[in-house]
Structure 1
Amino acid sequence: MEGVMMRNGDAYGLAVRRPDGSIRAQRLPWFSLTRRAWLKKTFVRGFPILLETLVNGIQALNRSVEAAAQSGEEELSGWHLALSLGLALLMAIALFVVAPHLLSLVMLWLHLGGDVEGLSFHIWDGFFK
Protein backbone atom coordinates (compact mmCIF):
# COMPACT_ATOMS: atom_id res chain seq x y z
CA MET A 1 0.00 0.00 0.00
CA GLU A 2 1.49 3.25 -1.09
CA GLY A 3 -0.32 6.54 -1.20
CA VAL A 4 -0.60 10.18 -0.26
CA MET A 5 -3.55 12.02 1.28
CA MET A 6 -3.73 15.82 1.39
CA ARG A 7 -6.55 17.99 2.70
CA ASN A 8 -7.67 21.33 1.32
CA GLY A 9 -10.76 22.86 2.91
CA ASP A 10 -13.80 20.65 2.45
CA ALA A 11 -12.07 18.12 0.18
CA TYR A 12 -9.03 15.90 0.21
CA GLY A 13 -6.94 14.36 -2.50
CA LEU A 14 -5.86 10.75 -2.43
CA ALA A 15 -3.22 9.31 -4.73
CA VAL A 16 -2.61 5.55 -4.53
CA ARG A 17 -0.06 3.49 -6.41
CA ARG A 18 -1.62 0.43 -8.02
CA PRO A 19 0.16 -2.92 -8.23
CA ASP A 20 0.98 -2.32 -11.91
CA GLY A 21 2.82 0.91 -10.99
CA SER A 22 0.17 3.36 -12.20
CA ILE A 23 -1.19 6.02 -9.88
CA ARG A 24 -4.89 6.47 -9.15
CA ALA A 25 -5.76 9.99 -8.00
CA GLN A 26 -9.11 11.03 -6.57
CA ARG A 27 -10.66 14.14 -5.08
CA LEU A 28 -13.07 13.23 -2.30
CA PRO A 29 -15.29 15.20 0.11
CA TRP A 30 -13.96 15.69 3.65
CA PHE A 31 -16.25 14.24 6.31
CA SER A 32 -16.70 16.99 8.90
CA LEU A 33 -18.30 17.17 12.33
CA THR A 34 -17.52 20.88 12.81
CA ARG A 35 -20.08 22.40 10.45
CA ARG A 36 -21.95 23.97 13.37
CA ALA A 37 -20.53 27.19 14.82
CA TRP A 38 -20.47 25.99 18.45
CA LEU A 39 -18.27 23.01 17.48
CA LYS A 40 -15.63 25.46 16.22
CA LYS A 41 -15.20 27.13 19.62
CA THR A 42 -11.74 27.04 21.16
CA PHE A 43 -12.11 24.42 23.89
CA VAL A 44 -14.70 22.32 22.06
CA ARG A 45 -13.20 21.78 18.61
CA GLY A 46 -10.32 19.43 19.50
CA PHE A 47 -12.21 16.17 19.97
CA PRO A 48 -14.56 16.55 16.95
CA ILE A 49 -11.56 17.36 14.74
CA LEU A 50 -9.75 14.29 16.07
CA LEU A 51 -12.77 12.11 15.26
CA GLU A 52 -13.23 13.49 11.76
CA THR A 53 -9.51 13.06 11.06
CA LEU A 54 -9.71 9.43 12.20
CA VAL A 55 -12.77 8.76 10.02
CA ASN A 56 -11.22 10.34 6.93
CA GLY A 57 -7.87 8.65 7.53
CA ILE A 58 -9.46 5.22 7.86
CA GLN A 59 -11.50 5.80 4.70
CA ALA A 60 -8.31 6.76 2.86
CA LEU A 61 -6.56 3.63 4.15
CA ASN A 62 -9.50 1.49 3.02
CA ARG A 63 -9.28 2.97 -0.48
CA SER A 64 -5.54 2.30 -0.49
CA VAL A 65 -6.14 -1.32 0.58
CA GLU A 66 -8.75 -1.71 -2.17
CA ALA A 67 -6.18 -0.59 -4.74
CA ALA A 68 -3.60 -3.01 -3.33
CA ALA A 69 -6.19 -5.83 -3.19
CA GLN A 70 -6.51 -5.73 -6.95
CA SER A 71 -3.20 -7.57 -7.04
CA GLY A 72 -4.74 -10.56 -5.23
CA GLU A 73 -3.87 -9.54 -1.70
CA GLU A 74 -6.40 -10.11 1.05
CA GLU A 75 -8.75 -7.23 1.97
CA LEU A 76 -9.14 -6.08 5.57
CA SER A 77 -12.39 -7.09 7.23
CA GLY A 78 -14.39 -5.10 9.78
CA TRP A 79 -12.82 -6.74 12.83
CA HIS A 80 -9.31 -6.04 11.48
CA LEU A 81 -10.19 -2.37 11.25
CA ALA A 82 -11.76 -2.34 14.73
CA LEU A 83 -8.69 -4.06 16.18
CA SER A 84 -6.37 -1.59 14.43
CA LEU A 85 -8.37 1.38 15.69
CA GLY A 86 -8.45 0.02 19.25
CA LEU A 87 -4.71 -0.63 19.22
CA ALA A 88 -4.04 2.86 17.84
CA LEU A 89 -6.15 4.45 20.58
CA LEU A 90 -4.37 2.43 23.29
CA MET A 91 -0.99 3.46 21.92
CA ALA A 92 -2.04 7.11 21.78
CA ILE A 93 -3.21 7.04 25.40
CA ALA A 94 -0.01 5.30 26.49
CA LEU A 95 2.19 7.74 24.60
CA PHE A 96 0.43 11.03 25.33
CA VAL A 97 -1.13 10.43 28.76
CA VAL A 98 0.59 7.63 30.66
CA ALA A 99 4.22 8.15 29.59
CA PRO A 100 4.36 11.93 30.38
CA HIS A 101 2.67 11.30 33.72
CA LEU A 102 5.18 8.57 34.59
CA LEU A 103 8.09 10.79 33.53
CA SER A 104 6.70 13.53 35.79
CA LEU A 105 6.61 11.02 38.64
CA VAL A 106 10.27 10.22 37.91
CA MET A 107 11.02 13.94 38.27
CA LEU A 108 9.22 13.86 41.61
CA TRP A 109 11.33 10.87 42.65
CA LEU A 110 14.48 12.78 41.61
CA HIS A 111 13.29 15.73 43.76
CA LEU A 112 13.02 17.96 40.67
CA GLY A 113 9.26 18.40 40.90
CA GLY A 114 6.43 18.68 43.38
CA ASP A 115 3.64 16.29 44.20
CA VAL A 116 0.81 15.46 41.80
CA GLU A 117 -1.22 18.49 42.90
CA GLY A 118 1.72 20.89 42.60
CA LEU A 119 2.43 23.27 39.75
CA SER A 120 5.90 21.88 38.98
CA PHE A 121 4.45 18.40 38.41
CA HIS A 122 2.08 19.79 35.79
CA ILE A 123 4.84 21.85 34.19
CA TRP A 124 6.93 18.67 33.78
CA ASP A 125 3.87 16.79 32.51
CA GLY A 126 3.18 19.50 29.92
CA PHE A 127 6.85 19.63 28.91
CA PHE A 128 6.95 15.88 28.25
CA LYS A 129 3.69 16.02 26.30
Structure 2
Amino acid sequence: MAYSGIGGQAVIEGVMMKNAESYAVAVRKPDHEIIVEKKEYGGICKNERVRNLIFVRGIINFVESMILGMSCLTFSASFFEDEEEKEHERNQKKEKAEMGITICFSLVLAVAIFMVFPFYMSLLFQRFVNSETVVILIEGILRLLIFLAYILLISRMEDIKRVFMYHGAEHKCINCIEHGMELTVENVKKSSREHKRCGTSFLFVVVIITIIATMFIRVDSRILRLALRLAIVPLVAGISYEFIRLAGRSENPLVNALSRPGLWMQKLTTKEPDEEMIEVGIASVEAVFDWKEFVKSIREKENDDI
Protein backbone atom coordinates (compact mmCIF):
# COMPACT_ATOMS: atom_id res chain seq x y z
CA MET A 1 0.00 0.00 0.00
CA ALA A 2 1.40 3.42 -0.99
CA TYR A 3 1.21 6.50 1.22
CA SER A 4 -0.85 9.29 -0.38
CA GLY A 5 -0.62 11.91 2.36
CA ILE A 6 -4.31 12.75 2.18
CA GLY A 7 -6.61 12.47 5.17
CA GLY A 8 -10.18 13.30 5.86
CA GLN A 9 -13.20 13.42 8.07
CA ALA A 10 -16.87 12.61 7.76
CA VAL A 11 -19.25 15.54 8.13
CA ILE A 12 -23.04 15.86 8.00
CA GLU A 13 -24.08 14.24 4.71
CA GLY A 14 -20.57 14.68 3.36
CA VAL A 15 -16.82 14.16 3.45
CA MET A 16 -13.89 16.50 4.01
CA MET A 17 -10.53 15.63 2.44
CA LYS A 18 -7.27 17.41 3.19
CA ASN A 19 -4.03 17.36 1.22
CA ALA A 20 -1.19 19.54 2.55
CA GLU A 21 -2.77 22.98 3.10
CA SER A 22 -5.70 22.40 0.75
CA TYR A 23 -8.96 20.90 1.91
CA ALA A 24 -12.33 20.33 0.31
CA VAL A 25 -15.74 19.60 1.78
CA ALA A 26 -18.22 17.75 -0.44
CA VAL A 27 -21.82 17.65 0.77
CA ARG A 28 -24.91 15.95 -0.68
CA LYS A 29 -27.60 18.62 -0.41
CA PRO A 30 -31.26 17.79 0.32
CA ASP A 31 -31.99 18.12 -3.43
CA HIS A 32 -29.26 15.44 -4.01
CA GLU A 33 -26.85 17.88 -5.69
CA ILE A 34 -23.22 17.51 -4.59
CA ILE A 35 -21.65 20.82 -3.64
CA VAL A 36 -17.88 21.07 -3.14
CA GLU A 37 -16.08 23.87 -1.33
CA LYS A 38 -12.29 24.00 -1.58
CA LYS A 39 -10.17 26.20 0.66
CA GLU A 40 -6.69 26.61 2.09
CA TYR A 41 -5.89 26.08 5.77
CA GLY A 42 -2.46 27.21 6.91
CA GLY A 43 -2.89 26.03 10.48
CA ILE A 44 -2.24 27.64 13.85
CA CYS A 45 1.55 27.53 13.58
CA LYS A 46 3.37 28.99 10.57
CA ASN A 47 6.90 28.11 11.74
CA GLU A 48 7.87 25.00 9.77
CA ARG A 49 10.69 24.11 12.16
CA VAL A 50 8.29 24.02 15.11
CA ARG A 51 5.59 22.25 13.09
CA ASN A 52 7.98 19.41 12.27
CA LEU A 53 9.35 18.87 15.78
CA ILE A 54 8.77 15.29 16.87
CA PHE A 55 5.94 14.98 19.46
CA VAL A 56 5.19 18.72 19.14
CA ARG A 57 3.79 18.22 15.63
CA GLY A 58 1.29 15.74 17.03
CA ILE A 59 -0.11 18.28 19.48
CA ILE A 60 -0.32 20.94 16.76
CA ASN A 61 -1.98 18.49 14.37
CA PHE A 62 -4.55 17.47 16.99
CA VAL A 63 -5.58 21.07 17.73
CA GLU A 64 -5.70 21.97 14.04
CA SER A 65 -7.80 18.90 13.28
CA MET A 66 -10.33 19.96 15.90
CA ILE A 67 -10.53 23.51 14.58
CA LEU A 68 -10.79 22.47 10.92
CA GLY A 69 -13.17 19.63 11.73
CA MET A 70 -15.55 21.90 13.62
CA SER A 71 -15.48 24.42 10.77
CA CYS A 72 -16.29 21.72 8.20
CA LEU A 73 -19.11 20.34 10.35
CA THR A 74 -20.59 23.83 10.64
CA PHE A 75 -20.38 24.26 6.86
CA SER A 76 -22.06 20.92 6.14
CA ALA A 77 -24.79 21.54 8.73
CA SER A 78 -25.69 24.86 7.09
CA PHE A 79 -27.39 23.01 4.20
CA PHE A 80 -29.83 21.35 6.57
CA GLU A 81 -30.91 24.33 8.68
CA ASP A 82 -34.10 26.31 8.33
CA GLU A 83 -34.07 29.94 7.19
CA GLU A 84 -34.02 31.38 10.72
CA GLU A 85 -30.98 29.32 11.66
CA LYS A 86 -29.20 30.31 8.45
CA GLU A 87 -29.80 33.98 9.19
CA HIS A 88 -28.49 33.45 12.69
CA GLU A 89 -25.26 31.93 11.33
CA ARG A 90 -24.47 34.70 8.86
CA ASN A 91 -22.62 36.75 11.42
CA GLN A 92 -19.08 35.42 10.88
CA LYS A 93 -17.59 36.94 14.00
CA LYS A 94 -20.26 35.40 16.15
CA GLU A 95 -19.82 32.08 14.38
CA LYS A 96 -16.07 32.05 15.08
CA ALA A 97 -16.66 32.94 18.72
CA GLU A 98 -19.23 30.18 19.07
CA MET A 99 -16.87 27.71 17.41
CA GLY A 100 -14.09 28.61 19.84
CA ILE A 101 -16.44 28.18 22.80
CA THR A 102 -17.64 24.83 21.43
CA ILE A 103 -14.08 23.54 20.99
CA CYS A 104 -13.08 24.64 24.50
CA PHE A 105 -16.21 23.11 26.00
CA SER A 106 -15.59 19.85 24.09
CA LEU A 107 -12.02 19.66 25.41
CA VAL A 108 -13.11 20.37 29.00
CA LEU A 109 -15.88 17.77 28.74
CA ALA A 110 -13.53 15.18 27.25
CA VAL A 111 -10.97 15.74 30.03
CA ALA A 112 -13.71 15.49 32.68
CA ILE A 113 -15.19 12.27 31.27
CA PHE A 114 -12.04 10.42 30.21
CA MET A 115 -9.49 11.68 32.75
CA VAL A 116 -11.06 13.11 35.93
CA PHE A 117 -14.04 10.75 36.32
CA PRO A 118 -12.03 7.45 36.03
CA PHE A 119 -9.42 8.85 38.44
CA TYR A 120 -11.92 9.57 41.22
CA MET A 121 -13.83 6.35 40.55
CA SER A 122 -10.62 4.33 40.96
CA LEU A 123 -10.02 5.96 44.36
CA LEU A 124 -13.11 4.16 45.65
CA PHE A 125 -11.27 0.88 45.17
CA GLN A 126 -8.50 1.97 47.54
CA ARG A 127 -10.75 0.89 50.42
CA PHE A 128 -10.57 -2.71 49.22
CA VAL A 129 -7.24 -2.88 47.34
CA ASN A 130 -3.87 -2.22 48.98
CA SER A 131 -1.81 -2.26 45.77
CA GLU A 132 -1.37 1.13 44.12
CA THR A 133 -0.50 -0.60 40.86
CA VAL A 134 -3.83 -2.45 40.86
CA VAL A 135 -5.73 0.79 41.60
CA ILE A 136 -3.99 2.53 38.69
CA LEU A 137 -4.77 -0.45 36.46
CA ILE A 138 -8.44 -0.26 37.50
CA GLU A 139 -8.40 3.43 36.57
CA GLY A 140 -7.04 2.54 33.14
CA ILE A 141 -9.65 -0.18 32.61
CA LEU A 142 -12.41 2.25 33.58
CA ARG A 143 -11.05 4.78 31.09
CA LEU A 144 -11.03 2.16 28.33
CA LEU A 145 -14.55 0.99 29.19
CA ILE A 146 -15.86 4.58 29.13
CA PHE A 147 -14.28 5.08 25.70
CA LEU A 148 -15.88 1.88 24.37
CA ALA A 149 -19.25 2.70 25.95
CA TYR A 150 -19.19 6.19 24.41
CA ILE A 151 -18.59 4.82 20.91
CA LEU A 152 -21.24 2.12 21.31
CA LEU A 153 -23.74 4.67 22.60
CA ILE A 154 -23.33 7.20 19.80
CA SER A 155 -23.22 4.48 17.15
CA ARG A 156 -26.89 3.73 17.94
CA MET A 157 -28.01 7.27 17.05
CA GLU A 158 -29.60 7.43 13.58
CA ASP A 159 -27.86 10.67 12.53
CA ILE A 160 -24.50 9.34 13.72
CA LYS A 161 -25.02 6.12 11.76
CA ARG A 162 -25.12 8.17 8.56
CA VAL A 163 -21.98 10.08 9.60
CA PHE A 164 -20.29 6.71 10.20
CA MET A 165 -21.34 5.63 6.69
CA TYR A 166 -19.67 8.74 5.27
CA HIS A 167 -16.68 7.91 7.49
CA GLY A 168 -16.59 4.55 5.73
CA ALA A 169 -16.76 6.29 2.34
CA GLU A 170 -13.82 8.49 3.32
CA HIS A 171 -11.66 5.50 4.29
CA LYS A 172 -12.65 3.43 1.28
CA CYS A 173 -11.75 6.25 -1.13
CA ILE A 174 -8.30 6.66 0.43
CA ASN A 175 -7.71 2.91 0.53
CA CYS A 176 -8.77 2.63 -3.11
CA ILE A 177 -6.12 4.98 -4.45
CA GLU A 178 -3.42 3.90 -1.98
CA HIS A 179 -3.82 0.35 -3.30
CA GLY A 180 -3.26 1.60 -6.84
CA MET A 181 -6.85 1.35 -8.09
CA GLU A 182 -8.71 3.93 -10.14
CA LEU A 183 -11.09 6.03 -8.07
CA THR A 184 -14.42 4.72 -9.31
CA VAL A 185 -17.55 3.80 -7.38
CA GLU A 186 -17.05 0.09 -8.10
CA ASN A 187 -13.40 0.10 -6.97
CA VAL A 188 -14.23 2.09 -3.84
CA LYS A 189 -16.98 -0.39 -2.94
CA LYS A 190 -14.40 -3.20 -3.02
CA SER A 191 -11.95 -1.32 -0.77
CA SER A 192 -11.62 -1.68 2.98
CA ARG A 193 -13.36 0.77 5.29
CA GLU A 194 -10.56 0.49 7.88
CA HIS A 195 -7.43 2.61 7.70
CA LYS A 196 -4.41 2.79 10.00
CA ARG A 197 -4.31 6.61 10.00
CA CYS A 198 -7.87 6.98 11.30
CA GLY A 199 -8.77 9.29 14.18
CA THR A 200 -10.48 6.37 15.94
CA SER A 201 -7.15 4.53 16.01
CA PHE A 202 -5.47 7.69 17.28
CA LEU A 203 -7.92 8.02 20.19
CA PHE A 204 -7.56 4.32 21.04
CA VAL A 205 -3.77 4.67 21.13
CA VAL A 206 -4.17 7.76 23.34
CA VAL A 207 -6.19 5.71 25.83
CA ILE A 208 -3.66 2.85 25.87
CA ILE A 209 -0.62 5.11 26.22
CA THR A 210 -2.38 7.06 28.97
CA ILE A 211 -2.89 3.80 30.89
CA ILE A 212 0.81 2.98 30.54
CA ALA A 213 1.97 6.50 31.41
CA THR A 214 -0.13 6.75 34.57
CA MET A 215 1.63 3.66 35.93
CA PHE A 216 4.66 5.88 36.50
CA ILE A 217 2.79 8.68 38.31
CA ARG A 218 3.11 7.77 41.99
CA VAL A 219 2.78 10.63 44.45
CA ASP A 220 0.87 10.83 47.73
CA SER A 221 -1.18 13.95 46.99
CA ARG A 222 -4.41 13.18 45.08
CA ILE A 223 -4.52 16.68 43.64
CA LEU A 224 -0.94 16.40 42.40
CA ARG A 225 -1.66 12.94 40.95
CA LEU A 226 -4.61 14.33 39.00
CA ALA A 227 -2.64 17.42 37.94
CA LEU A 228 0.18 15.23 36.59
CA ARG A 229 -2.32 13.09 34.70
CA LEU A 230 -3.69 16.19 33.01
CA ALA A 231 -0.20 17.55 32.37
CA ILE A 232 0.86 14.46 30.38
CA VAL A 233 -2.12 14.69 27.99
CA PRO A 234 -0.22 16.78 25.38
CA LEU A 235 2.76 14.40 25.57
CA VAL A 236 0.49 11.37 25.19
CA ALA A 237 -1.19 13.00 22.17
CA GLY A 238 2.24 13.68 20.65
CA ILE A 239 3.42 10.08 21.14
CA SER A 240 0.13 8.69 19.79
CA TYR A 241 0.40 10.86 16.69
CA GLU A 242 3.92 9.57 16.03
CA PHE A 243 2.71 5.98 16.18
CA ILE A 244 -0.24 6.63 13.86
CA ARG A 245 2.07 8.52 11.51
CA LEU A 246 4.48 5.56 11.46
CA ALA A 247 1.64 3.07 10.98
CA GLY A 248 0.37 4.96 7.95
CA ARG A 249 3.76 4.71 6.26
CA SER A 250 4.88 1.24 7.34
CA GLU A 251 3.97 -2.35 6.54
CA ASN A 252 6.21 -3.70 9.30
CA PRO A 253 4.57 -6.83 10.83
CA LEU A 254 5.01 -5.51 14.38
CA VAL A 255 3.51 -2.11 13.50
CA ASN A 256 0.63 -3.85 11.74
CA ALA A 257 0.01 -6.04 14.78
CA LEU A 258 -0.02 -3.03 17.12
CA SER A 259 -2.39 -1.22 14.73
CA ARG A 260 -4.90 -4.07 14.70
CA PRO A 261 -6.88 -3.12 17.87
CA GLY A 262 -7.44 0.37 16.44
CA LEU A 263 -8.67 -1.17 13.18
CA TRP A 264 -11.08 -3.34 15.16
CA MET A 265 -12.43 -0.20 16.82
CA GLN A 266 -13.14 1.24 13.37
CA LYS A 267 -15.71 -1.50 12.81
CA LEU A 268 -17.83 0.54 15.23
CA THR A 269 -17.08 4.02 13.86
CA THR A 270 -17.35 3.19 10.15
CA LYS A 271 -20.25 1.66 8.26
CA GLU A 272 -20.64 0.53 4.66
CA PRO A 273 -21.63 3.57 2.54
CA ASP A 274 -24.11 3.55 -0.31
CA GLU A 275 -23.16 4.60 -3.85
CA GLU A 276 -24.32 8.20 -3.37
CA MET A 277 -22.07 8.56 -0.33
CA ILE A 278 -19.15 7.11 -2.27
CA GLU A 279 -19.75 9.67 -5.03
CA VAL A 280 -19.48 12.43 -2.41
CA GLY A 281 -16.20 10.97 -1.13
CA ILE A 282 -14.80 10.80 -4.67
CA ALA A 283 -15.79 14.43 -5.33
CA SER A 284 -13.96 15.50 -2.18
CA VAL A 285 -10.78 13.60 -3.12
CA GLU A 286 -10.73 14.90 -6.68
CA ALA A 287 -10.96 18.51 -5.46
CA VAL A 288 -7.63 18.32 -3.61
CA PHE A 289 -5.70 15.35 -5.03
CA ASP A 290 -4.55 14.19 -8.45
CA TRP A 291 -5.31 10.51 -7.90
CA LYS A 292 -4.71 9.59 -11.55
CA GLU A 293 -1.08 10.72 -11.37
CA PHE A 294 -0.68 9.00 -8.00
CA VAL A 295 -2.08 5.68 -9.25
CA LYS A 296 0.09 5.96 -12.37
CA SER A 297 3.22 6.39 -10.21
CA ILE A 298 2.29 3.30 -8.18
CA ARG A 299 1.91 1.20 -11.32
CA GLU A 300 5.19 2.46 -12.75
CA LYS A 301 6.96 1.54 -9.52
CA GLU A 302 5.39 -1.92 -9.58
CA ASN A 303 6.57 -2.42 -13.18
CA ASP A 304 10.10 -1.33 -12.24
CA ASP A 305 10.16 -3.83 -9.38
CA ILE A 306 9.21 -6.73 -11.66
Tell me which interval the TM-score lies in, with the shorter structure as reference length: 0.5 to 0.7
Written as runs of structure 1 = structure 2, the 5 A alignment for 1:6-85 is 6-32=17-43, 33=45, 36-69=48-81, 72-75=83-86, 76=89, 77-78=94-95, 80-85=98-103
Residues 111, 59 of structure 1: CA spacing in aligned structure 2 closer, same or farther, 3 A cutoff? same
State the SS of the aligned residue for 2:80.
Answer: helix
State the SS of the aligned residue for 1:5.
Answer: strand
Greater helix content: 2
CA drift at 1:80: 4.0
- Distance, in Å, in 1 between the alignment partners of 2:102 and 2:129 is 39
State the SS of the aligned residue for 1:25.
Answer: strand
Is the CA contact (8 Å cut-off) linking 1:16 and 1:64 kept in structure 2? yes
- Calculate the TM-score normalised by the size of structure 2: 0.34
Unaligned residue ranges in structure 2 (runs of 5+)? 1-11, 144-206, 208-306
Unaligned residue ranges in structure 1 (runs of 5+)? none
Counterpart residue type for residue 73 of structure 2: L
1:94 aligns with 2:105: no
State the SS of the aligned residue for 1:74.
Answer: helix
| Backbone CA RMSD of aligned residues | 3.0
- Distance, in Å, in 1 between the alignment partners of 2:84 and 2:70 is 18
Q: Percent identity?
A: 26
- Corresponding position of 2:126: 108
Residues 42, 3 of structure 1: CA spacing in aligned structure 2 closer, same or farther, 3 A cutoff? same
CA drift at 1:94: 1.1
- Corresponding position of 2:222: none
- Distance, in Å, in 1 between the alignment partners of 2:130 and 2:15 is 44
State the SS of the aligned residue for 2:85.
Answer: coil
Residues 124, 7 of structure 1: CA spacing in aligned structure 2 closer, same or farther, 3 A cutoff? farther
How many residues are matched?
Answer: 124
Counterpart residue type for residue 39 of structure 1: R
- Calculate the TM-score normalised by the size of structure 1: 0.68
Residues 38, 31 of structure 1: CA spacing in aligned structure 2 closer, same or farther, 3 A cutoff? closer
Residues 103, 19 of structure 1: CA spacing in aligned structure 2 closer, same or farther, 3 A cutoff? same
